[in-house]
Amino acid sequence: MKVSIEVNGRPVTEEVPDRTLLVHFLRDTAGLTATNIGCDTTSCGACTVLLDGESVKSCTVLAAQADGHEVTTVEGLTAADGALHPVQRAFREQHGLQCGFCTPGMIMASVSLLADNPKPTRDEVRAGLEGNLCRCTGYHNIVSAVIDASGQEVDR
């Protein structure tokens, strides 16, 4: 079927098999490979993107379901002049990433979390990111990054 999605402000229209997952549409059709696939059970969150501003796991959304909607991936967060989004900046500043594979999904989930809760506590960040797995960081610096991005002081 023909699917048209506005990805990071750019319309992408393509004839794709009905069963095409949104994550494959983003990676293979739109050519945006930052969004990763880490599992096949909607458990890891590596594929998290924003669909009309709400975070979704793009491995569990059909491209067809996103037809006519807007999707934002981590590539869409950086400003045209290269300036980092506050969450991107904070992940770097707080060493909230190591291998980087969970990072695009983790950043998008964090953007969504902060939209819902602009000044979260560390425990609220942990609860909010429960659906996003990271194997490298032990989560400590991811939590710090979200606190930093929210404008609160990182005290540990």
Partner 1 sequence: MSIVGTRVVRQEDRNLITAGGTYVDDLRAEALSGAAHAVFVRSPIAHARIGGIDVSEAKAAPGVLGVFTAADLGLDPHPAGPVKEPWLADEVVRYVGEPVALVLTEERYQLADAAELVDVDYEPLDAVAGIGAALDGETLLYPETGSNIVQVNGMAEFDDAIFEDCEVVVTQTIANQRVAPAPLEVRGASLAWGEDGRLTAWLSTQNAQIARSQLAGSLGVGEESVRVIAPDVGGGFGAKIGADPEATVLGWAAKQLGRPVRWVESRSENLTSMTHGRAQLNTVTIGGKRDGTVLAYRLDVVQDAGAYPRTLFLPTLTELMAVGVYRFPQVQTRSRAVVTNTTPIAAYRGAGRPEATAAVERAMDLFAAELGLDPADVRRANFIRPEEFPYRTPTGAFYDTGEYAAALDKVLETAGYAELRAEQRRRREAGDPVELGLGIAAYVEITGGDGGGESGRVDIHPDGSVVAWTGSSPHGQGLGTSLAMLLADRLGVPLEKITVRHGDTDEVPKAIGTFGSRSLQLGGSAIRQAADEVIAQARDLAANLLEAAPEDLELDVERGVWQVRGAPSSTVLSWAQVAETASDGKLTADVWFGDGQPTFPFGAHLAVVEVDTETGKVQLRRIVAVDDAGPIVNPLTFRGQRHGGLGQGAAQALMEVVTYDDDGNPTTASLADYSFITAVELPDFELVDMATPTDRNLLGVKGIGEAATIGSTPAVHNAVVDALSTRGVKHLDMPTTPIRVWAALSEGNVQ
Applying CB under 8 A, which residues contact partner 1?
17, 19-20, 24, 27-28, 31, 33-44, 46, 74-75, 77-78, 84, 88, 91-93, 95, 97-104, 107, 122, 125-127, 129-143, 156
Least distance in angstroms from the C-beta of 109 to partner 1: 11
**What angle in degrees, to the nearest 10, is found between the helix axes of 140-149 and 86-93?**
140
Least distance in angstroms from the C-beta of 123 to partner 1: 9
Which C-beta is closer to partner 1: that of 2 or that of 155?
155
The burial class, CB within 10 Å (0-12 / 13-18 / 19+), for 128 is buried
Asked if 110 and 116 count as a contact pair (C-beta separation under 8 A), the reply is: no
Least distance in angstroms from the C-beta of 94 to partner 1: 9
